[in-house]
Amino acid sequence: MSEPTQEPQRLRVVVADDQAAVREPLAAVLGLTEDIDVVASAANGSEVLTAVASGPVDVVLMDLRMPVMDGIETTARLAEDHPEVAVVVLTTFADDDSILGALGAGARGYLTKNAGRQDITRAIRAAAAGQSVLDREVQDRLLATVRTKAPTRGQALPEDLTPREREVLTLIGQGLPNRAIAEKLFISEATVKTHINNLFAKAGIRDRADAVRRAIEAGLA
């Protein structure tokens, strides 16, 4: 007798935006996705924290400019009190302070509201899996900011990084997402993820934004 097929776990998502005209249609569209359940919507950061405390929640899709408690403060609170909950920022703002503030607070993804449904669902899935997804505009802005602020070049990386891990770090530093890295190196996305996990562990890299900084400081990007 064959084992019953186990359905994949659905991701539990909170949608946070102070504008009902944005929040409600977005929640409705995401709710149609086969592996996503929108378990709550929130108009401000305080409501996000209440929803997460009532949990369980896997991902919060977070606007930045909200009353009562903004998205950056809320992200920082979640990182401290609920580190198992991933945050993906979805905002109209792509300025340096917003990007660095959100990523510094612990957001795993950052998209602008030009992102389509596929981009948003891909970012939610990646964040739930512990990966980062940055909008192309955000990547470019982050690269420009880090290059401007990087204090030194040629900073040493761990000697035990393999040549392939250095290649992957170089391409991350150029702003390429995992899929593009896989295509460029003629390897699978799963292999790219393995290399990223290994180099992050060896070099003490926290997240993709930190990887960009390290690549630039090491003269790889």
Q: Is 61 helix (H, G, I), strand (E, B) or coil?
A: strand
CB 27, CB 15: distance < 8 Å: yes
Matching residue, tokens 């503030």: 101
pLDDT digits (tens, 9 = 90+) for 80-127: 889 899 999 998 887 878 888 888 788 888 998 888 888 899 899 988
**Is pLDDT at 189 greater than 90 in this prediction?**
no
Q: How far is CA 200 from each of CA 155, 165, 196, 214, rounded to the nearest angstrom?
A: 16, 9, 6, 10
At a CB cut-off of 8 Å and minimum separation 6, what does 17 contact?
23, 26, 41, 43, 63, 66, 90
Tokens of 25: 């249609």
> Which conformational region is residue 41 in: left (phi greater than 0), alpha (psi within -120 to 50 degrees), or beta?
beta
pLDDT tens digits for range 125-150:
988 888 778 887 777 777 676 666 65
Q: Which residue has the tokens 């929108």?
A: 38
Please write the tens of the pLDDT for every residue from 14-32. 999 999 999 999 999 998 8
Identify the weakest region by mean pLDDT among 129-138, 156-165, 193-202: 129-138
Q: Which long-range contacts (CB under 8 A, 24 or more apart) does 174-182 make?
A: 174/143, 174/215, 174/221, 175/134, 175/136, 175/139, 175/140, 175/142, 175/143, 175/212, 177/133, 177/134, 178/131
- How far is the C-alpha of 199 from the C-alpha of 90, rounded, in Å? 28
Position of tokens 């761990």?
158
Identify which of 86, 70, 95 has the alpha carbon closest to the alpha carbon of residue 133: 86
CA-only gyration radius of the chain, Å: 18
| Confidence tier at 44 by pLDDT (50, 70, 90) | very high
**pTM above 0.85?**
no
CA dist., res. 15 & res. 11, Å (int) = 12
How would you write 20-57 as a 3-class SS string? HHHHHHHHHHHHCCCCEEEEEEECCHHHHHHHHHHCCC
Distance in angstroms (rounded) separating the CA atoms of residues 94 and 87: 16
30 contacts 15 by C-beta, under 8 angstroms: yes
